[in-house]
Amino acid sequence: MNKEASDVIRVGSRKSELALIQTRYVIDSLKEIYPKKEFEIVTMNTKGDKILDKSLPKIGEKSLFTEELELALESGRVDFLVHSLKDLPTILPQGMVLGAILKREDPRDAVVMSKKYKDKTLSTLPKGSVIGTSSLRRSAQLARNMPHLTVQSIRGNLNTRLKKLDDEESPFAAIILAVAGLKRMGWNDRISQILEPEEALYAVGQGALGVECRESDWKILSLLEPLHDVDTALRCVCERSFLKTLGGGCSAPVAVSSTLTEKDLVITGAVWSLDGQTVIKDTAKSELYIPDDDAEPPKKCQYREPRLYTGVVPGNISSLSLLCAEQLGKNIAAKLIAKNALEVMFKARNEILNSE
């Protein structure tokens, strides 16, 4: 007997190969917990997927890769969405929440060299070598740390960018991509060099998958709760709080790195000028409340909406810990703001808007 359509859980995803791999990973993780549940993937293109002849900051930073998906979620066409968390704005639409953040893949950046320079690193590439990236934070850090290199914008999904790199007429000596995306695509062998946080801070939420759903959909929220990873959620709430307080996005070079060791959460945040010559950077630490494994789970009240942390539901995570993580993000942003970070970001945005 066929399942009724209403029994099938519909999952929204972008159409790119990486997006579908990530969506299937979330579904497979849920099927391990709920083997009798049925899922259907609903794909769609977003504004960021359709407009490839402009840089991301030129298009506009808000909901570039999420707006169409969120409209489908709001209308009930889908029950939840799978995102690369770095693409998700820190302020979600009214009524939308992050029901789960899955265990983070490697958040660092990777260098993918062209065949011509397969034995090189960024520091040993010839002067003037062209590096492809669509990210302002990557280009600013390259300009500061590797001034002998030239940065050129490259757009498209992973397949498209690798094809551009491999073309015989390609101007690129290398491109910079997220380690997580390459690993999920099974392209570990294309990684020529991994950039440590000391060399290049990464994007807020990079390497993590976020699952967005309706705040009022208790059925889906309950379904997603087992996927919520404590370490990843605490780090990403802190990072998102930092970015939210700064008011940043892809229109200014902003980046982070974070670690959670036992009960200490540490975050480094930075803002650059477009040319990388000005950098405002600082580090902050906070001790978190981490309950023992045998502690009583947090109580939930079905008659009252839970507090959200940069759009993230507490789920099975201590609200005290999440509150500390969120506050730490605000604190590190305040440190940068006290050093004129907002002025640097404002200038960067103006330069982008006034450029050709």
| Active-site annotation, residues | 87
Identify the DSSP state of 110.
Answer: E
In angstroms, the Cα distances linking 148 to 127, 130, 195 are 5, 10, 17
- Enter the tokens of residue 60: 């506009």
- Enter the tokens of residue 81: 């969405």
**165 and 48 in contact (C-beta within 8 Å)?**
no
Nearest CA-CA partner of 91 in 206, 243, 208 = 243
Return the SS3 of 260: strand
Q: Within its chain, how far is the Cα of 177 from the centroid?
A: 13
Contacts of 248 (CB under 8 A, 6+ apart): 254, 271, 345
CA 81 – CA 23 distance, rounded (Å): 8
Nearest CA-CA partner of 173 in 197, 193, 187 = 193
Q: Please, what is the angle between helix 319-338 and helix 230-246, to 10°?
A: 30
CA 221 – CA 89 distance, rounded (Å): 20
